Structure 1
Amino acid sequence: MDWHPNSGETTLARYPVSFATGTAASVDGRRSFRDRRRNDIEADLADWPEGRGFAVRSLPGRVGVYGRTAVSGVFAVVTGILSDLLGGSTINPEPGRGKLEERENEVDDFPVMWADAGDTARTLPWQLDPSRRPQGQVTEVVLTSQRLLVVGSGTTLWETPRENVVDAAIRQFSIGRKDFRITFRDGSWARLTTSVSYHSTELVGLLTGSHQRLSESDLSTEQHKRLSGFASSLPTGATPPVITRLPSGLVRVGSTLPGRGQGVVSETRGFVMDEAGRDATPAPGDIGPSKA
């Protein structure tokens, strides 16, 4: 069925989302699906199309990954090999990745679903897996005042009451820190990712309460004047401005211009302002994830 908000339900966020993908050389480009005893449950997921399967790369395979991605040549390859042999965290030749938080889930394995039979995370749709869904299809996460949903091509694929999500957190060990984990009331969890880091930051913030959606009536006189000028300057087709109070207390205003044609990225316009409606610099954790 096509997704639409219920009566009295407010849409807070809607962003492209997928299961995350490993970035350490041992699991680069891969993901696994586990029960709480770390057994592989991929073959047991009901009605899922066959996937690629999962295996941690041996040392020779990791050398190949280092060789393809290292920006500092031989030194980076040798350093990566030594790091693996000594049991240290795998190096990251790409910029923007934070510290290793869980070696067992980010280097030795890369579960994106952690759930026993009957757990909420195990009900997530297979379309979240980029290696399974049809080419060109986009899955999106929708957060409302009542629900968390996954939609594909406008159709509801999965949903759960918002109160069933008990925690959400950015995973630092990901390119651009775009990965995040959502944990459900039963203790199961999923590791997901968005295409832009501030989408992950904002979604996590809205789930945990550090970010808050505002209405025009919540703004000061100066902020309202700034918003009105911005809204009147938007081209035809732009979405109505979305107003967010950031953790620092600053206010972000944003609007999206949908891309034209398949695969065209939408354009976001906006600004951050203080109580007086003046341009302001976001604090760490306001827009992008805080560094660890």
Structure 2
Amino acid sequence: MDWHPDSDEMQLARYPVSFATGTAASVKGRRSFRDRQRNDIEAELPGWPERGTFKVRRLPGRIGVQISHTLSGVFAVAWGILSELLGGGVTNPEPGRGKLEDRENEVADFPVMWADTQDTARGLPWQLDPSRRPHGYVSEIVLTTRRLVVLGSGTALWETPRGNIAAATAKRFSVGRRDFQVTFQDGSWARLTTNASPCTVELVGLLSGSHHRLSEAELSPAQRERLSSFASSLPADVARPVITKLPSGLVRVEFTLPGHGQGIVSESRGFVMDEAGQDAAPAPGDIEPSKA
């Protein structure tokens, strides 16, 4: 049975999540688990399936990774050009990374867990590790008004109160800028990643306070009228919308409807509006990562 929040709390966000993966040539495709003295703690994590020991690649390995990455990019661009000439869609190469922020933890090493024995981050479940969990297994992160929860295929695996979260920060040096770091009150932290940068932006915003969920009653009269008009164009049994106040002050409204295309489970419809209920363009950092 799928997990649901208790009656005294409201679900604010739910997204697929995993431990992050290194992208620099020295750590590409790899991740480490460290205590605060940077010792490897994988063997100490109770119940965790074994995995190969983490190693930073030396120069020959880095060169090989870089050559492979370059060739992949060349082939992707060539295929995109050919696809366009043949009348198909253009294939986009893998999204780039933002600026390097922390060489020690993004190039020289790539810890995704930083925690001593009794620290909060040490309790995160192994199912967050893509290299350990079964193929097709889905891990998710859920934020509610009371707690942060990690799910594994719909079952709760771990949770901590909202008050135990000291900070949440988006990490620019990651593919598609999807990585983020959650730091707990005891100073331990974890580096995680979602499946899309807008998910990361919203989750970090909700955790840090730059994004806020609103009720329909909190909207201005003009905004409620705009919402009502939009909702009238949707099926009568559609679920209530998710309403978010963005950092810029604009309001985003999002409805989730059953998908109609083959293999599409659901689809989103919505809009962003100003105080007067007029359509507005989101500012950088509202939905997509800021370039700053």
| TM class by smaller structure | 0.7 to 0.9
- TM-superposed CA distance for 1:237, in Å, is 7.9
Matched-pair contact (CA < 8 Å) for 1:67–1:73: no
Counterpart in 2 of 1:211?
Answer: 211
TM-score (norm 1): 0.87
Corresponding position of 2:109: 109
Cα displacement string for residues 153-193 of structure 1 (whole angstroms, at most 9, x for unaligned residues): 22101000010001000001011211000000100000000
- Residue identity in the other structure for 1:267: E
Structure 2 SS opposite 1:167: strand
Aligned-partner Cα distance in 1 for 2:184–2:58: 33
Partner residue, 2:137 = 137
Q: Which one-letter code corresponds to 1:134 in the other structure?
A: P
In structure 2, the partner of 1:157 is 157
> Any residues of structure 2 matched to 1:123-134 within 5 Å, and which?
123-134=123-134
Q: Tell me which amino acid in the other structure corresponds to 1:170.
A: A
User: Which string of whole-angstrom CA distances, capped at 9 and with x for unpartnered residues, describes residues 83-142 of structure 1?
Assistant: xxxxxxxxxx95431111100100010000000001000000111011111111111110
Aligned to 1:13: 13
Percent identity over the alignment is 72
In the aligned structure 2, how far is the partner of 1:96 from the partner of 1:42?
30
After superposition, the Cα gap between the structure-2 partners of 1:184 and 1:138, relative to the gap in structure 1 and judged at 3 Å, is: same
- Structure 2 residue matching 1:225: 3-state secondary structure: helix
In the TM superposition, what is the alpha-carbon distance from 1:264 to its structure 2 partner?
Answer: 5.5
| DSSP-derived class of the 2:108 partner | coil
Q: What is the identity, as a one-letter code, of the residue corresponding to 2:276?
A: A
Q: Does 1:62 align with 2:77?
A: no
1: distance between equivalents of 2:249 and 2:205?
A: 13
- Give matches, 1:44-83, under 5 Å: 44-70=44-70
**1:67 shift after superposition:** 1.1
Is structure 2 residue 181 aligned with structure 1 residue 176? Answer: no
**Structure 1 position 247 matched with structure 2 position 247:** yes
Q: CA RMSD in A?
A: 2.4
Alpha-carbon spacing, 1:125–1:275, altered in 2? closer, same or farther (3 Å): same
Q: Name 1:86's counterpart in structure 2.
A: none
Superposed displacement of residue 4, structure 1: 2.5
Cα deviation, residue 287, structure 1: 0.6
In 1, Cα distance between the equivalents of 2:29 and 2:60?
A: 16
* Change in CA separation of 1:73 and 1:30 when aligned onto 2, cut-off 3 Å: closer
1:231 aligned partner? 231
Q: Which consecutive unaligned segments of at least 5 residues does structure 2 have?
A: 75-92
Judge conservation of contact 1:19–1:128 (CA < 8 Å) in 2: yes
Structure 1 residues without counterparts, runs of 5 or longer:
75-92
Provide the residue aligned with 1:78 in structure 2. none
Contact kept in structure 2, 1:257 and 1:267, CA below 8 Å: yes
Cα separation, partners in 2 of 1:35 and 1:258, compared to 1, 3 Å: farther
Structure 1's 237 and 27: CA in aligned 2 closer, same or farther, altered over 3 A? farther
Letter in 2 for 1:152: G
**1:290 maps onto 2:253 in alignment:** no
Aligned to 2:119: 119
* 1:77 corresponding residue in structure 2: none
Call closer, same or farther: CA 1:51–1:238 in 2, change over 3 Å.
farther
Measure the CA separation in 1 of the matches of 2:230 and 2:238.
12
Which amino acid letter does the alignment assign opposite residue 154 of structure 2?
G
C-alpha change, 1:164 and 1:22, in structure 2 (3 Å) is: same
How far apart, in 1, do the equivalents of 2:56 and 2:260 lie? 39
3-state SS of the aligned residue for 2:176?
coil
Q: Is the deviation greater in 57-66 or in 111-120?
A: 57-66
CA distance in 2, matches of 1:266, 1:2: 17
Decide which moves more: 151-160 or 225-234: 225-234
SS in 2 for 1:160: strand
* Matched residues, number: 274
